[in-house]
Amino acid sequence: MKRIVEAEKESQRILDETNREVAQIKKDSSNKIASMRQQILREAIERREKALVEAERAGAEEAERIAIEATKQVEALSRIPEANRKKAVDRAMVLLLS
């Protein structure tokens, strides 16, 4: 009878130990999940920030290209040949006086 009681005790000990072990694993996994989640979100935020920086750079590059092109076009306007200007004035005079 004593042996049976001891076996029951041992059995209970095994189950208690298992339950403790499981509780610990669950606790650890909870931390692991939180850490994993943080890692995934941190990577996403890093990608987002990288994309923003990249977009900022690309936008600045394109803006610069546009500004250079605009300057060229404006400069071209100030180099309109005198003959064309005269032709424009002549045409305006003809229209006005007709």
Neighbours of 87 (CB within 10 A): 11
Rounded CA gap, 77 and 85, in Å? 11
Closest distance of CB 1 from other proteins, Å: 9
Rounded CA gap, 22 and 9, in Å? 20
Q: For residues 46-75, which are near other proteins according to CB under 8 A?
A: 47-49, 51-52, 54-56, 58-60, 62-63, 66-67, 69-71, 73-74
Closest distance of CB 53 from other proteins, Å: 9
**Residues 10-49, mask of contacts with other proteins (x by CB under 8 A):** xxx-xx-xxx-xx--xx--x--xx--xx--xx-xxx-xxx
| Residues that contact other proteins, how many (by CB under 8 A) | 61
Rg (CA), the chain: 41
Closest distance of CB 39 from other proteins, Å: 8
Rounded CA gap, 31 and 39, in Å? 12
